[in-house]
Amino acid sequence: MAKKKKVEDDTEKVFIGKKKSMSYVMAAMVILNDNPVRLLARGRSISRAVDVAEILINKFVRGATYGEIKISTETITNEDNTQTNVSSIEIEVIPPKK
């Protein structure tokens, strides 16, 4: 039997923004029932993404673990055509084994 190639799509990702942390925790918990979830954030939202990951692992989904964590810098062109560097993070949270 051939292995299925895993296609990564947006259904496994939670984009972290300006809402309260618990909104993102609930969204991530829905995904964590079946699959690993990826928390993505840029700029000032990075600290909120780390908070969401910690809340998930320590409070709501005991036994969940961190997967891959990617840190990068993205270059964005502003409306006045100037370049700005913005930090970004991607945190993978893997659900516990059943």
Say what percent of the chain tops pLDDT 90: 78
Task: Check residues 46 and 63 and name the one with the higher pLDDT.
Answer: 46
pLDDT tens sequence across 51-81: 999 999 999 988 899 999 999 999 999 999 9
CATH 1.10.12.10 fits 12-94, yes or no: no
**Is residue 11 very low, low, confident or very high in pLDDT (cuts 50, 70, 90)?**
confident
Band (pLDDT 50/70/90 cuts) for residue 48 is very high
CA distances from 22 to 31, 72, 84 (A): 15, 25, 30
Per-residue burial over 12-30, b = 16 or more CB atoms within 10 Å of its CB, e = otherwise: bbbebeeeebeebbebbbe
* Rounded average pLDDT over 2-30: 81
Please answer whether residues 43 and 51 qualify as being in contact, where contact means their C-beta atoms are separated by less than 8 angstroms: no
Position 2 pLDDT exceeds 80: no
Token pair recorded at residue 7: 């296609």
Residue indicated by tokens 């618990």: 22
User: CB neighbours of 48 closer than 8 A, spacing ≥ 6?
Assistant: 16, 21, 24, 41
Q: How is the chain split into domains, by residue range?
A: 12-94
